[in-house]
A and B are shown apart, each in its own frame.
Chain A
Amino acid sequence: MTETRKPKLGVFKFASCDGCQLSILDCEDELLAIAGAVDIADFREASRAVLDGPYDLSLVEGSVTTAHDAERIKGIRAQSKVLVTIGACATAGGIQALRNFGDVEEYRRVVYARPEYIETLATSTAIADHISVDFELRGCPISKFQLLEAVGAFLQGRAPNLPNESVCIECKRRGNVCVLVAHGTPCLGPVTQAGCGAICPAFQRGCYGCFGPQATPNTNSLTEELKVLGVAPPAVQRLFRTFNANAPAFKAASTAATAEATAR
């Protein structure tokens, strides 16, 4: 009897907090089933065993912030049949993309006593800015249910079935009271992609956009609504400028708010 070869899984890390790859180990009920269905070829956070590529499925966490990493991701792409980016760092540059709006030379001097020894690029960018990506999982962190759906879909040879609607839809489905309308709480739910389960409104706070912009976000309309609530332009800018600051729709919205703050 010949044994069918199991798909090889690689998990790769770039600039990040490790939270998204930790989501794999947080799939407590499914971890051993996943480990039975694939050969874990490279997952340094979890294992010393390393198998060479090529990989059938690569999960990539983190953003590109060094010249070395900009090269390294090309090698991983070349070794990967299917490459899925996981989390806000990989899909939008993450919180560290705040440097893109500042002066990285000054940042270096603030944080490090010997800035000349710090190797870094002036920007933090999404993986898709450097290579072609087959699928993106959003979130800071990703949803482990979405991760299981994506890995399961890959193993079954089908496209992942994940929503690209707004958090508002999830929020209604959950039966939450709208924090924006009922309480006047600033909320990015209308322009943010679903997937988290609308947890922030369920805990009586506004969405802070950690899944990034949804497919057709009307950020101008939301910005107007926020102004009506009395949110000043600098605060609107900060609201759009967090974990997905460099995602194009949020970047445009925060830049517009900056321009308005400056004009005032």
Chain B
Amino acid sequence: MTERTIAVDYLARVEGEGALKVRIQDNRVEDVQLKIFEPPRFFEAFLRGRSYQEAPDITARICGICPVAYQMSSCHAMERALGMKVDGPIRELRRLLYCGEWIESHVLHVYLLHAPDFLGYPDAIHLAKDHPEAVQHALALKKVGNSLMTLLGGREIHPINVRIGGFYRAPTVAELKAFRPQLEGAMPLAEEMVRFAADLDFPKIEEDYEFVSLRHEHEYPMNEGDLVSSRDVHVPQDHWEDVFEEVQVPHSHALQSIRKKGGGSYLVGPLSRYALNRDHLTPHADELARSVGLENVVRNPYRSIIIRGIETVYAIEEALRIIDHYRRPERSFVEPPPVTEVRTGAAVTEAPRGILYHRYRIGPGGLIEDAKIVAPTSQNQKRIEDDLRHLVERSLALDEPTLTDACERAIRNHDPCISCATHFLKLDLERH
């Protein structure tokens, strides 16, 4: 009997602290564990007793890479709890802010975190020595996303301008118009990113994913839409807990999100959004996808890097559209009603790496009584482990370092954000 263990003690180029352990016995994969040793921070616990108006600022601190996602999901959940309707220019400004985060986060992942895997470099700094133009263009493009967040949100990390009901201050038409040239300049760089990504060499692998994302009647989803899957899910977005649940895996004490029905894994993120919403891409983004040979549904996780590029092109076009149609609202926010009784609300929005679920119960007086937050990475965790199991089963002949590298790459395909997921991912006391 032979036993092999593949261990990566510290995953690099992911956000947060994680590790991987795979146990192989007699050429069979016995166990795959994506381990998270990021220390717990107890957000759901200390949100209790805080004002519901504080949730966007506090939950943003769960993740420095996708703070807007936390601000958006918390705002929508609170507004649903209070029966508020936020529409018109404020709704559009929220979408514009999300465009900034999608651009910044996708470019960060494509060039600085993911591309080095395909080209054989430890990081983007080394990549820059041989491909200076690619990295310079990446930084210029990423800067446009960050500048958009700064324009609307005050700063790129933990923006300060988001509140329940809208914004503290709405930008003027002139301020947004002045940003147009930066977005126009970003478009050729984003198109180049799509072609750069499409030219990479991809392992020929297809996975049988159940794709899960939001789907909106008219637009590529960010803040609104129903919760749908490529199999049989189609529910209002605040019904997340009817379809999915978090379970504990007995042998590893893990909390993972699974389908309630059947207990299977599912995938959130760019592959899913694209598979379920390709018809809502702009004609230009759609044509670009076609020109680089993207089929309507992409099941090869490595090729998610191309879809991040397509979504970046989409976000730039969408930002331009919003700016061109913008009329400054009379008030920058909708006034929330007083909270006189217990209210509950839930919402899902599309973080760059997939759907983010928030649910709150607010007591009379407006203090939070209960909070539940399910990050995209905790929803993808079981699916990432499935990818890894299949990869290792296919690759048993590889030597240890090559197989270990391959496993790390397979994890980075899904752009995991471990700080976000910590309060739900498995936490193993074993230290290596």
Contact = CB atoms under 8 A, between A and B. Distances in A.
Chain A bound to chain B: yes
Interface of A: 13-23, 25-26, 28-29, 31-32, 35, 40, 43-50, 65-66, 68-69, 94-96, 98-99, 102, 104, 106-108, 110-114, 117-120, 124, 140-141, 196, 199-200, 202-205, 208, 210, 235, 238, 242-243
A123 B19 CA distance: 25
Contact of A243 (B17, B61, B408): B61
Interface string B29-70: 000000000111111111010110010011001111101000
B61 A95 contact: yes
B101 interface: no
B253 A46 contact: no
A32 B61 contact: no
Nearest to B420: A17
Interface string B138-169: 01101100100000001111101101000111
Contact of B45 (A19, A50, A102, A196): A102
Given A17-B62, A17-B419, A44-B10, A99 B46 contact: yes
Given A112-B40, A117-B427, A18 B419 contact: yes
B427 A119 contact: yes
A45 B412 CA distance: 12
Interface string B56-89: 0110011111010000000000000000000000
Given A26-B156, A140-B158, A141-B64, A15 B41 contact: yes
B13 A102 contact: no
A144 to B, nearest CB: 9
B16 interface: yes
Nearest to A113: B248
Contacts of B11: 44
Nearest to A243: B61
Contact of A32 (B54, B65, B135): B135
B253 A117 contact: yes
Contact of B253 (A21, A35, A107, A114): A114
B20 to A, nearest CB: 13
Interface string B1-26: 00000000011111111000000000
Contacts of B248: 113-114
30 contacts: A17-B62, A17-B419, A18-B16, A19-B61, A19-B158, A25-B112, A28-B143, A29-B139, A44-B17, A46-B12, A48-B116, A48-B408, A69-B39, A94-B61, A95-B41, A106-B45, A107-B46, A108-B42, A111-B42, A114-B248, A119-B427, A140-B61, A141-B64, A141-B155, A141-B157, A196-B155, A202-B154, A204-B332, A205-B163, A242-B57
